[in-house]
Amino acid sequence: MSETSRKRTFGTLVTKKSASAIVVVRLDIRFPELPDQYPRKALLLDHEVGRRRNGLKKDPTRKGYYAGLENEHARTSTALFQRNALPEEGDEGPSSLPQQDDLFDGRTTLILVGGQSLLIVAAAIAAAILQTPNWGFGPNIVFDLKSIGGGFLLALPLGGLAAALDLIEDRFPALQDVTKATQRSILALMGGTFKPLFAFFTALALGLAAGFGEEMLFRGILQYELANRFGPVLAVGAASIVFGALHAVTPLYAFLATLASVYFGAIYLAFDNLAVPIWCHTIYDVGALYYAHWTVCQLTQQERNEIAFWEGPGK
């Protein structure tokens, strides 16, 4: 699949390696399975993807319909069949391609944000059962401008790491899989048409839900309780392993999430104020989600279709 995205710089179209920073929130949204009667090939032309999603039958006798299918370069253009394929009865032809936000469903956004928000409720219930201080916020929680500023500054190294991974992504297929996994979820979450306000508020809602819910659960409760019993080092390590395992969209995604969790855990130990890792986590996720949406919107329609039906590492 073409891994290039296109963005405009001073009116000039340039090509850039597409990359999405890892989002430290459990994102693994998959599109519905295609009908079983169709054999899975590498990934066909855009129009074929649209036909498979709509359950339309194939007609290989039509001139040009599958011309160049075995040619690697044919996957980058749909013009070939658009010129030669004649629509058959009941077939909308090229118009049946998934266009723009055909792959986007607002219900997915509501379900994911709502589900992530339930982590806050789960954390509060767990804190009540374990008698963890302040409903999982820890004994010294202080929400003030200082904690927000600290969280913002501490989110910058995470952004720097994401930028560094962006630069070397084309050398490592595992990093490309992280990008594909993120972009597939972003397509379902925000769509493929750039919507600045919608994307910002969606990223903000999901970032806040993840920042509060995950930090309460993994740092305010799990790390806190383990530290009281086994010491801070083991507590940070154990909480981070669990955190990474629950973010195992791909193996590398899980590893990077584990590293991020160690970072958040160290911040909590250093400041003894859960508000700081909460804001750090929230601010980073908001930025990463928004950037991922912008990146997806720079892809061609064919590239978005291929991302939507990507099935996982090595596929």
Per the domain annotation, does 150 fall within a domain? yes
Per the domain annotation, does 37 fall within a domain? no
Per the domain annotation, does 44 fall within a domain? no
Per the domain annotation, does 12 fall within a domain? no
**Given pLDDT bands bounded at 50, 70 and 90, which one contains residue 309?**
confident
**Given pLDDT bands bounded at 50, 70 and 90, which one contains residue 116?**
very high
pLDDT at 66: 37
How many independent structural domains does the chain possess?
1
Per the domain annotation, does 228 fall within a domain? yes
Per the domain annotation, does 60 fall within a domain? no
Phi, psi of 166 (to 5 degrees): -60, -40
pLDDT at 115 over 80: yes
pLDDT at 104: 74
pLDDT at 45 over 60: no
CA distance 136 to 123: 6
Domain that holds residue 184: 106-297
pLDDT at 53 over 70: no
CA distance 67 to 279: 53
* Percent of all residues in the chain with a pLDDT value above 70, rounded to a whole number: 67
194: left (phi over 0), alpha (psi -120 to 50) or beta: beta
pLDDT at 88 over 70: no
pLDDT at 300 over 70: yes
pLDDT at 286 over 80: yes
Select the more confidently predicted residue: 19 or 193.
193
CA distance 79 to 72: 15
pLDDT at 25: 65
Q: Record the pTM.
A: 0.72
Per the domain annotation, does 235 fall within a domain? yes
Pairing of strands 4-9, 12-17: antiparallel
pLDDT at 236 over 60: yes
pLDDT at 234: 98
CA distance 29 to 56: 25
* Mean pLDDT over the full length of the chain: 78
pLDDT at 154 over 90: yes
Per the domain annotation, does 229 fall within a domain? yes
Nearest to 132 by CA among 230, 267, 222: 222
Do 202 and 289 contact (CB within 8 A), yes or no? yes
Nearest to 244 by CA among 264, 224, 273: 264
pLDDT at 275: 98
* Percent of all residues in the chain with a pLDDT value above 90, rounded to a whole number: 61
pLDDT at 59 over 60: no
pLDDT digits (tens, 9 = 90+) for 162-221: 999 999 999 999 999 999 999 999 998 999 999 999 999 999 999 999 999 999 999 999
299 Cβ contact partners less than 8 Å away, ≥ 6 residues apart: 5, 6, 18, 183, 192, 307
